[in-house]
Amino acid sequence: MTVSAIIPTYNRRELVCEAVRSVFAQRGVAAEVIVVDDGSDDGTDAAIAAFGSAVRYVRQPHRGVSAARNGGARMAAGEWLAFLDSDDLWRPDKLARQLAYHAEHPDLRSSQTGEIWVRDGVRVNPCRHHDKPDGDIFAASVARCVVSPSAVMLHRDLFAELGGFDEGLPVCEDYDLWLRLGSRTRLGLLDEPLVIKRGGHADQLSRRFWGMDRFRVAALVKLLSAAGLQPDRRSVALAGLRDKCAVLANGARRRGREDEAARYLALATACA
């Protein structure tokens, strides 16, 4: 098995079935399909059962998307891992084009493709700052999340070396993983719109948590605390940490939370 498609899901019965069908529709690649159900109670189990043995289905207690993705990766038999969020879709040539890209770039162990963005059923154009970098993604990844899980393909050995997704982060777990990836290696870009990224759902994690930079700061602190970060990378990460701490401190001051503001300013100083 060359590619394992790993689909985490939670209470998205109809959407996850559409995602599965988009994997079945891949041309020229017969991917292993793994659905990890993160404790759904909406009948997802029965819906996936209708696909029969074509889908490897596992249900786990509700532990979050990182645990679901990591669980799928442990089950995977493929040399390459491709993650697909349950509200997104792959276009029919996604896996074949990405495998061909890696055959042409054997030095790369990870890549992502371009995307089509859809919000509430309407196609939208992303802003320029959402342009995806090619090769050395580290500096761009410090500023914001520039990699989409549904667009990524990683060699299973690289995923293992990185340690997978951080199950302690409720959100920004992808930001954290791409930081670690970018600090060690390059990520290729196949700049073709091979993923349909669907947003606007009420259950999206980004809508459930305020102050997303809190979790990005945690990821940066973890990276800076780890051994082996090159000096130039460390400087970039520190600058990003200071910027995010300043934003959070200013926000805390506006809400009259001086103690919280002081903690973020002290954190930026301590990590320097």
CA distance 251 to 234: 26
Question: How confident is the prediction along the chain (272 residues), in pLDDT tens digits per residue?
Answer: 699 999 999 999 999 999 999 999 999 999 999 999 999 999 999 999 999 999 999 999 999 999 999 999 999 999 999 999 999 999 999 999 999 999 999 999 999 999 999 988 888 877 676 788 899 999 999 998 899 999 999 999 999 999 999 999 999 999 999 999 999 999 999 999 999 999 765 555 555 555 688 999 999 999 998 888 999 999 999 999 999 998 898 888 888 888 888 888 888 777 76
- Against a cut of 0.85, is the pTM above it? yes
Domain with CATH 3.90.550.10 in the chain: 3-205
Backbone angles phi, psi at 83, to 5 degrees: -95, 140
CA distance 224 to 217: 10
Q: Which residues of 165-190 are buried (b: 16+ CB within 10 A; e: fewer)?
A: bbbebebbbbbbbbbbbbbebbbbbb
Q: Does domain 3-205 have CATH number 3.90.550.10?
A: yes
Closest CA to 94 of 76, 113, 81: 113
Q: Are 80 and 154 in contact (CB under 8 A)?
A: yes
CA distance 105 to 25: 25
Q: How far is CA 247 from CA 83, 129, 151, 217, in A?
A: 32, 18, 29, 11
Using CA atoms of 255, 259, 261, 263 in order, give the dihedral in degrees to the nearest 10: -150
CA distance 240 to 243: 5
Q: Measured over all CA atoms, what is the biggest interatomic distance in the chain, rounded to whole angstroms? A: 58
